Structure 1
Amino acid sequence: MKATQQEVRVDVQQGQPVRVRWGERQYPVSQVLDAWRYGGRWWLGEPPRNCFLVRCGSLTAELHQETVPLGKWFIARIQD
């Protein structure tokens, strides 16, 4: 997986991502492979995050959602 950190919009149902909108493209989430909570590097002032490893067709992405303030999503890693 290559590192990135690009902001995206994510549609959520029942607490899990169901669609990723990146630029002009939309990717339906076909499978949530893993979910975890990352506490952030508090000593650097990073907020905690909700993290999801998802499959969108042939694309696998690690999505992070900042929890303070809740809502900002970004792609932490991606593999196609």
Structure 2
Amino acid sequence: MKAAQRPCLVPRLTTSGTPLVIDVDGCTYRLSQELDHFRAGGRWWLGEPSRDVWVLACGPVTLEVARYDQAHNGSQWWLLRIQD
């Protein structure tokens, strides 16, 4: 996976809260399968908030997406990594 580290939009979630649709840089990705979900603490010494992280299969692409507990650098949702 390569690092992306950019904000994204998540307009739709599943009933359990998993991102269903992810929009980033003019591309829309739709969830095929949730591969992993975990809770991660932020780097407290840098003032980062905690976050929920999902690893998602979206067709042939795998995304790592995070939802921060509070806005992080102006956005709550972030695309952390992508593998195509």
Structures share a fold, TM > 0.5? yes
TM alignment of 1:1-80, pairs within 5 A = 1-10=1-10, 11-14=12-15, 15-69=17-71, 72-80=76-84
Using the TM superposition, give the Cα deviation of residue 12 of structure 1 relative to its aligned residue in structure 2, in angstroms.
Answer: 1.1
* Matched residue SS, 1:68: strand
Q: Which amino acid aligns with 1:76?
A: L
| Structure 2 Cα separation of the partners of residues 60 and 6 of structure 1 | 15
Using the TM superposition, give the Cα deviation of residue 55 of structure 1 relative to its aligned residue in structure 2, in angstroms.
Answer: 0.6
| Structure 1 Cα separation of the partners of residues 31 and 3 of structure 2 | 20
Q: Which segments of structure 1 move beyond 2 Å, counting only runs of 4 or more?
A: none
Indicate the RMSD between aligned Cα atoms, in angstroms.
Answer: 1.6
Q: Which amino acid aligns with 1:30?
A: S
- Count of residues paired in the alignment: 80
| Structure 1 Cα separation of the partners of residues 57 and 41 of structure 2 | 23
Q: Which amino acid aligns with 2:3?
A: A
| Structure 1 Cα separation of the partners of residues 55 and 5 of structure 2 | 14
Using the TM superposition, give the Cα deviation of residue 25 of structure 1 relative to its aligned residue in structure 2, in angstroms.
Answer: 2.2
Q: Which amino acid aligns with 1:65?
A: R
| Structure 2 Cα separation of the partners of residues 59 and 33 of structure 1 | 12
Unaligned runs of 5+ in 2: none
Using the TM superposition, give the Cα deviation of residue 48 of structure 1 relative to its aligned residue in structure 2, in angstroms.
Answer: 0.4
Q: TM-score, normalised by structure 2?
A: 0.86
